[in-house]
Structure 1
Amino acid sequence: MTTPTPSTTPSADKPTWLATLKVYLEPASLRMLSLGFSAGLPLLLVFGTLSFWLREAGIDRTTIGYLSWVGLAYGFKWVWSPLVDRMPLPLLTRLLGRRRSWLLFAQAVIMAGLVCMAFTDPRMALLPVVWCAIAVAFGSATQDIALDAFRIESADTERQAALSATYQTGYRLAMIWAGAGALWIAARAEVPAEVAGVVAGYQHGAWQTAYLVMAASMLPGVLTVLFSPEPAHKPIPPAKNAADWLRSAVVEPFTEFLRRYGIHAVLILALIATYRISDVVMGIMANPFYVDMGFTKDEVAAVTKIYGVVMTLVGAFVGGAMAMRLGVMRVLMLGAVLSAATNLMFAWLAGRGHDVQALIFVISADNLASGIASAAFIAYLSSLTNVNYSATQYAMFSSMMLLLPKFVAGYSGAFVDHFGYASFFTATSMLGVPVLGLVWWASKAKLASSPRPISSYSS
């Protein structure tokens, strides 16, 4: 009988749980925590928090609704992702490298936009606020492109789930700070109306303070970029002409993906386009549901915005660790099952009415499932990219994963009006059933990951 060598024993193939969890303390993981905060900060400042500010300033709801189109910058970031992937920035790229130079540029745009918003009163002039918000959204989307490439190139495939977990942690913490934190700062920056000489209910100075603090909150991300090593990547040969540059920067990232996977590319793109459909479609009607069930603002804020975020973070860390131990595809399947199943719990909650304990129970399960699914899905998307085109390909994937769900979600209100909440939540759960088949098919076709051309990564 031949004794197995250490390289073939099961214990040698899998790290211990302690060694698995230590990955979260590695420098690359800690950098993702800070950069995730930098990525999550701008989103609410041009959506939820801005809408609150504009409404308090007396801007009508129709106009505020139109201003949500600022978010199209995130949906179409793939359009300029080839520039971020390939085009050097004067001086900055030579000093910092390709990824860090674009990160620093994007962060500068975000900070400048937030400062300009702070010094513009929408009650006096709305258009400057709109242009500043567009600048922040553009800078934020550009930061996402560069940061996704930076993350993918900073570690091997096995560590991508852990990096995505710490990235999500920073991102979620930033959303709490940009949402609840900004409102808290604005409230405490107000002065008594009789002292300020203004009508009670709106003080531009309070919002100015809040947005200046938010701009300063980008500084940890800036310092992280400045003191981080540039990820290892292959040098890009100079283009002979404009057509050659377009081919290598724009066309080749997409054709390379199609060549690599062939007919299976259709399967992969279908999985990407539908994996989060249950959560996204359900999420559009979540807040109206809470209101119609009689939950107060304080109850919704405490349970869904604070406690819910904590549960999502727990899920992200659990999902990242499980992906390293069990493999991305198994956890991807688990996340798909849990996402669909927890929507049925909202259907159950719809029959209970105003029940805070039941709400806590449902939010615990739903957000934990969401964290697990997100960590596995980000790791899966990362595994699909070729590091030579990581920014462009990941931007394509991350944009595609929201297009169909967002389109379908537009009809969610009409569905609830006709059939009620219980039927709506049940229907969103059923939307996740085809996803299970796609994950199973992708797993059987061994489409979980692809060879990565670079074997050395920064630590």
Structure 2
Amino acid sequence: MIPGQKFLTLLRDIAADKRLAFMLLLGFSSGLPFLLVFSTQSARLREVGITRTDIGLMFYATLFYSIKFLWAPLLERFDPPVLGRMMGRWRGWLLITQLGVILGLFGLAGSNPASSLGMTIFWTTVTAFFAASQDVVIDGWRINVIPRDRQGIMLAVSQLGYRVGILCAGAGALYLAEYFDWHAAYGTMAGLMLIGILAALFAPDPPPVEKEAASHSAAAASKSDKAAATRPPSGWPDWLIAYKEALSDLFLRRGWILVPIMLLIALYRLPDFLAGVMSNPLYIDLGFSKAEIANISKIYGFAIGLTAPFVGGLCIWRFGLMPSLLFGGIAAATSHLSMALLAAKGADSTYLALAVSVESFAGGFAGTALMAYMSSLTSPAFAASQYALLSSLYALPGKLLAGMSGKMVDLFGYPVFFSATSTIGLPVAILCLIVWRSADKEDPAQAKEEQDRASLAGEGGRR
């Protein structure tokens, strides 16, 4: 099925199942705050004269996206005060985290980084914490509200909503800043979070689910017995037991190969995190207006990027998960050479469109392949906690190093910086081949099950 037909089928499914409609709204609520503390924020800071070094360092305020696994088991295990009894666990936490995002965005709307950068950093931190927590809750709601065989379509719908949220926070915020000001832009974005509030109020709450280890083969059953034997005493706190069981299950099922797997996940999107925080400062420094950036980088880039998850899902189904993962990793890294070319050529709209086309498609394809791979690694018994751990792992190294991206640009310039980020594709390719070779030696039944889960997840992909 071609991407256009898949998109129409997706819309029909959304209309037929209210859970998918709510997933669309929650995906939007997840995507909206991300750029507002990331690249859109970078454009705002650069415009008022904040140095590239300081812009890069401020990116550390968004590290909550990368360490959300630290409190994910708590949100999964415990009901929120008061709202838990009124709305259920997932919807209660959704409302709390979304109200926190709104508070943070209104704080950013009222701040002025030119005169009080400290307050801007504070409200960025508040927004990032609640936005990252919202992502944990949305993933938990998604996994528990619908059967596992429908997770593929849920992920595709989530990706669609997420990209619309990204479009609003990117192009929408830049347009508002161009024709009004940044205060109006961030205030409007805070108002758009009411869409997520409505979803939290009326979405169905998942039924309680008991975590049970599933045995799909004799080997899996044996490993489950070992995991049960190593569980901590019943007197241990629930949150500590949640960490122990989720990690033990992952290590017992994978063994030593988990080391290169984790290295691969940590490095896979590193080039995008390094380059992403400096893309808007590059556009501003080259002399592009906010309207030009919105038209080409955001709207046109949105259209190109929207096709990538469907093409990625199709490639996973047609060629397999590991070949698609290998191609995506190489393509995403080498696509940054187009940004180096733009930096060398100057303010040329043709080269900007070329760079945005290559990066948007390659990044979207790679994101879909990685998300599908991480989904294939999780166990049904610990899906929410393990996925939070893996998704944090892929973001943490990139966000730690991205804080120094401004300093690197100041030292070496944009062309050298973007060319250097593309070289990360080499170790990514080597690790892909190592993991691929190991996957070929796994139990055939287990490999088939994981390939099926990856194919379902490949229908959609997130950040």
TM-score bucket (shorter structure): 0.7 to 0.9
Matched, 1:77 2:71: no
- Report 1:151-300 matches (<5 A): 151-154=142-145, 160=151, 162-185=153-176, 207=183, 210-231=185-206, 234-235=209-210, 243-290=236-283, 295-300=288-293
Find the partner of 2:383 among 367, 380, 390. Answer: 390
Say if 1:149 and 1:394, in contact at 8 Å, map to a contact too: no
Find the partner of 1:433 among 420, 426, 436. Answer: 426
Matched, 1:137 2:112: no
Output one character per residue of 1:174-220: Cα deviation in whole Å (capped at 9) or x when no partner. 23323443454466667xxxxxxxxxxxxxxx82x554433331222
Q: CA deviation at 1:49?
A: 5.3
Say if 1:84 and 1:391, in contact at 8 Å, map to a contact too: no
Output one character per residue of 1:284-338: Cα deviation in whole Å (capped at 9) or x when no partner. 4434544565555543332212211221122123223443454433332231232
Q: CA deviation at 1:233?
A: 5.8
Say if 1:117 and 1:211, in contact at 8 Å, map to a contact too: yes
User: SS where residue 445 of structure 1 aligns?
Assistant: helix
The TM-score with structure 2 as length reference comes to 0.75
Query: Larger radius of gyration, structure 1 or 2?
Result: 1
Quick one: which amino acid aligns to residue 224 of structure 1?
A
Q: Give the gaps of 5 or more residues in structure 1.
A: 1-13, 191-205, 454-459
The TM-score with structure 1 as length reference comes to 0.75
Which shows bigger deviation, 155-164 or 428-437?
A: 155-164
Structure 2 distance, partners of 1:51, 1:278, is: 17
Quick one: which amino acid aligns to residue 63 of structure 2?
L
Q: Determine the structure 2 residue equivalent to 1:105.
A: 96
Find the partner of 1:305 among 294, 298, 306. Answer: 298
Say if 2:409 and 2:417, in contact at 8 Å, map to a contact too: yes
Quick one: which amino acid aligns to residue 222 of structure 1?
I
More helix by share: 2
Quick one: which amino acid aligns to residue 359 of structure 2?
D
Matched, 1:35 2:22: no
Which shows bigger deviation, 215-224 or 436-445?
A: 436-445
Output one character per residue of 1:253-305: Cα deviation in whole Å (capped at 9) or x when no partner. 22221122121211221111011123223334434544565555543332212
Structure 2 distance, partners of 1:87, 1:59, is: 42
Which shows bigger deviation, 16-25 or 159-168?
A: 16-25
Quick one: which amino acid aligns to residue 435 of structure 2?
A
Say if 2:178 and 2:290, in contact at 8 Å, map to a contact too: no
Q: CA RMSD in A?
A: 4.1
Structure 2 distance, partners of 1:96, 1:233, is: 13
Say if 2:329 and 2:425, in contact at 8 Å, map to a contact too: yes
Change (3 A) 1:248 1:132: same
User: SS where residue 263 of structure 1 aligns?
Assistant: helix
Matched, 1:341 2:316: no
Q: Give the gaps of 5 or more residues in structure 2.
A: 213-231, 454-463
Find the partner of 1:364 among 357, 374, 382. Answer: 357
- Report 1:311-326 matches (<5 A): 311-326=304-319
Matched, 1:148 2:148: no
How many residues in Structure 1 have an aligned counterpart in Structure 2? 423
Q: CA deviation at 1:86?
A: 0.9
User: SS where residue 375 of structure 2 aligns?
Assistant: helix
Q: CA deviation at 1:360?
A: 1.5
Say if 1:161 and 1:320, in contact at 8 Å, map to a contact too: no
Matched, 1:329 2:316: no
Say if 1:161 and 1:321, in contact at 8 Å, map to a contact too: no
Quick one: which amino acid aligns to residue 219 of structure 1?
L
Over the matched positions of the two proteins, sequence identity in percent amounts to 39
Question: Moved runs in structure 1, 4+ residues, more than 6 A?
Answer: 14-17, 51-66, 119-129
Matched, 1:22 2:3: no
Say if 2:62 and 2:124, in contact at 8 Å, map to a contact too: no
